[in-house]
């Protein structure tokens, strides 16, 4: 599990470790139980893979849209370059790769996006993830899974829930998504990871970012004021697609509705399975 110290990777590592032998990697920040790995170090990656794995889940990289916009070269190196390095490292071992990608490969002008939709990223993060997908597509047998905005708790980097840590948090009323409940993701990937090619996973409910944040705030009885905002900030802030709703033409898995997910979140956010 590359990126097990991150927000999505940490939740996956936690969920999958209950049923599989999982080795998780971290960056520089110490996390007990995880192996330090620099994604740019091809030798270290090859040495780690020599110990033998059936699958490598790539959930690492520079995922914050604003950070990617400010550091495009680093974003390209971590998000796309690391996939090429990983692809070369697994070739002698036959290990398969599952790459987590993003709905930000799309421009947000369509009602929904299935796997065959034309990519047209409008920000640096989306462009680097397009390059990552292309790097993996050069060889058969691997799997790309695009996911949307995710929400819920994670053991090592609770990035989403941290937005409720202050008295006020802004949320866009003009950005629409089909968010995915994070503790559900591990079980969904287990259902899909024997496949290859490209798949989408999305949430079952379509909401604005503002509505999502208000419902989370209310479900957890938090004091944070959710402040409605519209429009992108001026450059160098990233452009954000106006509507990103992922749907699949190849399976019928959808994340839980918000009421179900938020009830679980209020109880502590246990791992859920589709």
CB neighbours (10 Å) of residue 102?
A: 24
Integer angstrom CA distances of residue 253 from 14, 112, 163, 249: 21, 15, 28, 10
210 in active site = no
> Pairing between strand 55-58 and 176-177?
unpaired
What spatial distance separates the first Cα and last Cα of the chain, rounded to whole Å? Answer: 21
Q: Catalytic one among 113, 125, 151, 181?
A: 125
* Per-residue H/E/C for the chain: CECCCCHHHHHHHHHHHCCCCCCCEECCCCCCCCEECCCCCHHHHHHHHCCCCCEEEECCCCCCHHHHHHCHHHHHHHHHHHHHHHHHHHCCCCCEEEEEEEHHHCCCCCCCECCCCCCCCCCHHHHHHHHHHHHHHCCCCCEEEEECCEECCCCCCCCCHHHHCCCEEEEECCCEECCEEHHHHHHHHHHHCCCCEEEECCECCCEEHHHHHHHHHHHCCCCCEEEEECCCCCCCCCCCCCEECECCCCCCCCECCHHHHHHHHHCCCCCCCC
Question: Where in the sequence numbering do the catalytic residues fall?
Answer: 125
């Amino acid at each position: 599990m590359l990126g097990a110290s991150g927000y999505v990777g940490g939740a996956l590592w936690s969920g999958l470790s209950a049923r599989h032998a999982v080795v998780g990697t971290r960056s520089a920040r110490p996390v007990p139980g995880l192996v330090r790995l620099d994604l740019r170090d091809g030798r270290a990656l090859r040495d780690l893979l020599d110990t033998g794995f059936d699958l490598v889940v790539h959930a690492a990289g520079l995922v914050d849209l604003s950070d990617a916009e400010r550091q495009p070269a680093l974003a390209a190196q971590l998000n796309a370059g690391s996939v090429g390095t990983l692809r070369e490292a697994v070739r002698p071992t036959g290990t398969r790769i599952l790459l987590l990608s993003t709905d930000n490969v799309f421009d947000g002008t369509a009602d929904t996006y299935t796997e065959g939709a034309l990519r047209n990223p409008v920000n640096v993060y989306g462009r680097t993830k397009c390059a990552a997908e292309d790097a993996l597509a050069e060889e058969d047998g691997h799997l790309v899974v695009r996911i949307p905005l995710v929400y819920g708790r994670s053991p090592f980097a609770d990035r989403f829930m941290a937005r409720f840590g202050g008295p006020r948090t802004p949320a866009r009323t003009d950005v629409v998504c089909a968010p995915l409940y994070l503790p559900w993701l591990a079980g969904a990937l287990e259902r899909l990871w024997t496949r290859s090619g490209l798949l989408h996973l999305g949430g079952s409910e379509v909401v604005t970012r503002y509505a999502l944040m208000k419902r989370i705030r209310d479900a957890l009885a938090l004091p944070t004021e959710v402040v409605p905002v519209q429009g992108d900030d001026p450059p160098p802030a990233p452009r954000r697609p106006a509507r990103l709703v992922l749907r699949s033409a190849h399976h019928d898995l959808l994340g839980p509705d918000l009421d179900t997910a938020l009830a679980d979140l209020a109880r502590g956010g246990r791992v859920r399975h589709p």
